[in-house]
Amino acid sequence: MKKILVTGADGFIGSHLTEALVRQGYDVRAFVQYNSFNSWGWLDRCAPDVAGKFDVFAGDVRDPHGVKTAMQGCDAVLHLAALIAIPYSYHSPDTYVDTNIKGTLNVVQAARELGVSKVIHTSTSEVYGTARFVPITEEHPLQGQSPYSASKIGADQIALSFHCAFDTPVTVIRPFNTYGPRQSARAVIPTVITQIASGKRQIKLGAIHPTRDFNYVADTVGGFLAALASERGAGEVINIGSNFEISIGDTVRVIAEAMGAEIEIVTDEQRLRPEKSEVDRLWASNEKAARLLGWQPSYGGVDGLRRGIAETVAWFREPANMAAYKADIYNL
């Protein structure tokens, strides 16, 4: 596989993935969301060693013509473009159906028509809802506890249906909670880091009792690369997780320790999910990823989390990076 299309290449994970693909010698076309500012998102700040070494296509995954045009001449597509903020999905669920479900339909339809050799579709651990058993395997029931997670369940099933109906070579990668440099402050780890870095010691958060399986972005990117290289993923759903759970509260304490700060956690009501919508527990089984893809996390366990947090904190402490965030405003 030589020519790779990455949708959502302007985002957090997508920009890191684009850089990694270029470094591995792939010919990369980065699909970014069209905007009048001619912004390529995080790719405007990509690493110097990859700058100028990939193509950029500005469009919208909701537009089937644009998606098919972008995909022409590509051997594989890694589909990451999506709306991902859970709070905003309560506010504007219709946009999640259009972007996540219809956008995915446009990707797999174009891949089918163009005969693309591999489609890697990005899912999320949110589709599992609160764990009914742990560690969560790929056979765990799907539970749409937010409009966001429901839209991703729909997107996953659209992608898999094309494998069943048309033999489209679809692999569904299901990352658990990815964190690292460039992550939006809508997520808990950047929320805590940016508040502490801006001088706050009373940290505003929602629920801190839920557990999460955090994955450093380099590990998540490694999962995509392993799926791209593997011949064993077609028709499969594969968790990318660290097989380690930690509560939000304990994660905050790891961050505060890394930043040398004494903090107090304050509950902010607007950051709380509706009671039945909160996902209380996530803990991934990554046995299938190891077996089919040969993938294992490099930042696993509490020691790996500490290393990943330290690298993330170091990035946010750079003034030019912090300038991209608004620590005083709740990022819906």
pTM, full prediction: 0.97
In the 8-state DSSP scheme, what is residue 325? -
**What integer pLDDT is reported at residue 99 of this predicted model?**
98
**What integer pLDDT is reported at residue 1 of this predicted model?**
65
Give residue 133's domain range. Answer: 3-178+216-240
Residue pLDDT, tens place only, 11-31? 999 999 999 999 999 999 999
Q: Is residue 319 part of a domain?
A: no
Q: Is residue 224 part of a domain?
A: yes
Q: What is the mean pLDDT of the chain?
A: 97
Q: Where are the beta strands (DSSP E) in the chain?
A: 3-7, 27-33, 55-59, 76-79, 118-122, 170-175, 178-179, 202-205, 211-212, 215-216, 237-240, 246-247, 264-267
**What integer pLDDT is reported at residue 329 of this predicted model?**
85
Q: Is residue 208 part of a domain?
A: no
Q: What type of residue sits at position 212?
A: R
Closest CA to 103 of 127, 68, 145, 54: 68
CATH of the domain at 48: 3.40.50.720
Give how many domains the chain has, as a whole number. 1
Q: Is residue 174 part of a domain?
A: yes
Q: Cα separation of 238 and 171, whole Å?
A: 8
Q: Is residue 121 part of a domain?
A: yes
Q: Is 246 in contact with 134 (CB distance < 8 Å)?
A: no
**SS3 of 55-69:** EEEEECCCCHHHHHH
Q: Is residue 188 part of a domain?
A: no
**What integer pLDDT is reported at residue 6 of this predicted model?**
99
**What integer pLDDT is reported at residue 227 of this predicted model?**
98
**What integer pLDDT is reported at residue 328 of this predicted model?**
81
- Residue showing tokens 């990005």: 122
Q: Is 189 in contact with 251 (CB distance < 8 Å)?
A: yes
Q: Is residue 268 part of a domain?
A: no
Q: Is residue 80 part of a domain?
A: yes
Residue pLDDT, tens place only, 119-139? 999 999 999 999 999 999 999
Nearest-10 Cα torsion for 21, 24, 28, 34 = 30
Share above pLDDT 70 across residues of the chain, in percent, rounded to a whole number: 100
